[in-house]
Amino acid sequence: MINHIDSLESLIAIIPILKVSVPADLSIAICDVEKFIAYFPGETINLNIKIGQALNPEEPLALALVQNKRLQAEVPADFYGYEFTGTAVPLHDKNNKVIGGIAIQMRRQSELRAIADQISTSLSQANERIMNVANASASLADFTQKLLLQSHQAGEDVKNTGEVLSIIKRVADQTNLLGLNAAIEAARAGEKGKGFEVVASEIRKFSKETVTSTQKIRETLVQIQEITEQIGSSIEQIAAIGQEQAASTQQISTFIEEIQDMSNKLNQFAKKL
């Protein structure tokens, strides 16, 4: 059997070679049937076993000697501050007599699992917030598109108003011409046409005021149209930025989901360590 040895001393001699050869951080203890006779702590796992320290009848190594069988246990962090897997194996001489035992402890990567869990939780929370931002960006993009359409409609309304003003100006010009003709006819009528001349004068005065007012309204509409065009341009830029943000947050969300998937795989791997 593989746990038959020439002597405990010969086994102790090869432990340093074993620790260097095995790509894992191990803590190894050797005992006879009563006490520990050698201990090789690991870099991150040290049970502070002393040479000559008596075996505790309840510990796995002592039980392995009594039961003459291999024992393995998962030791929680409550005892030593960290988790580890402990294996205890009885050792036999050539006559199959139990002369001692070897206990090997390998620290479990509970810290790695805790980190993986924390990463997964943080990524889940970040992904939730990014999805909220993505939804808000999409809503903003929709809103700006509607606002852009309204801005364009306002521009068209301003143009239509300009056409109405052109009609009003033409009517005013025609009214002014009509008043001028009326004044000429009143002058020809002499004394009898004086009353009609007053009416013609008022008509011309009203038409001139209408033209002046129309011009002022036109200038104001031109300014409104320029401002509307500027607003439309700004809204287009905002809409473009909103769409880019929505696309970017969606990509980031996809990346986070991929990282979260890798974190879950890391967690599963850590549980096997």
pLDDT at 67: 93
pLDDT of residue 11: 92
Share of the chain above pLDDT 70, in %: 59
Helix and strand counts by DSSP (H, E) for the chain:
5, 5
Mean pLDDT by 10 residues, the chain (273 residues): 81 92 90 95 90 90 92 79 86 92 82 66 71 68 70 68 66 65 66 60 68 73 74 71 70 73 67 55
What does the block give as tokens for 105?
Answer: 């402890």
* Domain range 113-272, CATH architecture: Orthogonal Bundle (1.10)
8-108: CATH number? 3.30.450.20
pLDDT for 270 equals: 56
Residue 22 is classified by DSSP as S
Q: Residue 218 burial by CB count (10 A; 0-12/13-18/19+): exposed, middle or buried?
A: middle
User: Quick one: DSSP state of residue 247?
Assistant: H
pLDDT at 267: 64
- The CA-based dihedral angle spanning residues 254, 258, 259, 264, taken in that order and rounded to the nearest 10 degrees: 140
Residue 29: count other Cβ atoms within 10 Å of its Cβ.
24
The reported pLDDT for the residue numbered 119 is: 72
E-strand stretches of 16-134: 26-31, 36-40, 71-75, 84-92, 98-107
3-state secondary structure of 26: strand
**Ranges of each domain in the chain:** 8-108, 113-272
**What residues contact residue 53 under an 8 Å CB cut-off, 6+ apart?**
35, 36
Which SS3 state, helix, strand or coil, does residue 55 take?
A: coil
Q: Could you give the CA distance from residue 118 to residue 138 in angstroms, rounded to a whole number?
A: 30
Q: What is the pLDDT of residue 155?
A: 66
> HSE (CB half, 13 Å, CA atoms) of 223?
6
What integer pLDDT is reported at residue 52 of this predicted model? 95
In this prediction, residue 55 carries a pLDDT of 92
